[in-house]
Amino acid sequence: MSQQPVVIVTGGGRGIGAATAKLAAARGYAVCLNYLNRRGPAEEMVRGITERKGRAIAVQADISSEADVISLFRHADSQLGPVSALVNNAATLERQTRLDSMDASRILRIFSVNVVGSMVCAREAVKRMSTRYGGSGGAIVNVSSGAAKYGSPGEYIDYAASKGAIETFTVGLASEVAEEGIRVNAVRPGFIYTEMHAKGGEPGRVERVKTLVPMQRGGQPEEVATAIMWLLSPGASYVTGTIVDVSGGR
């Protein structure tokens, strides 16, 4: 019998991450669900998965901390087995404002989580998946944002810039490890109904901007999760270095 695939989903306690963790479990993955502060919802999700005979653990880790990332992967190794998939979903943003009102510490906070954290997580995944290190291959999906295309002027261009960096990183890493059995892709969600907008200071943002979308609606986290799981699957075996828009046509 082949070994059960293991996926780490960062920022898996809510929104797109939570939807991805649930769908991964339903499709036969053992799930390591990472969270920062919201232990209760993360553990509740693990209970839901295990009650359905799945395997899952919840691991607290601050993705901006290299030591925490290393610990996260070691927990997955020891409790679930070799990691074969990574979803770099954890991200942060701050209240909407213009660049001329941002200080350097805010910009550093954004990039420490969204860019540095994702890169360090990918590094740890490569060390486990790459045939160069004796691994059996695997897949990484980075979660970008439509902000990378449009820049989010007047709202959070620091966040947008960090997601632009994620897309460049996706293309570069995909080429770097293509011969080592690892595929690296990204999804670029549009206006999705998640709690992230409240953190930016506008909980109802999707309702305000949904008329900009050809489909005239916001998206659901589950719709993004479906795209992520396709990119992780054998069905996307010849897809790497690609950014998939999940944005209703925008």
pLDDT tens for each residue of 230-248: 999 999 999 999 999 999 9
Q: What is the pLDDT of residue 1?
A: 35
Strand partners, 66: none
Region 101-108 average pLDDT: 98
End-to-end alpha carbon distance in the chain: 43
Query: What's the predicted TM-score (pTM) here?
Result: 0.95
Q: Which amino acid is present at 188?
A: R
Catalytic status, residue 159: yes
Q: Which amino acid is present at 242?
A: T
Domains, the chain, ranges and CATH? 6-246 (3.40.50.720)
Q: What is the pLDDT of residue 2?
A: 53
Residue 94 confidence (pLDDT) above 80 = yes
From the list 29, 35, 156, 159, the catalytic residue is 159
Residue 237 CB neighbour total at 10 angstroms: 9
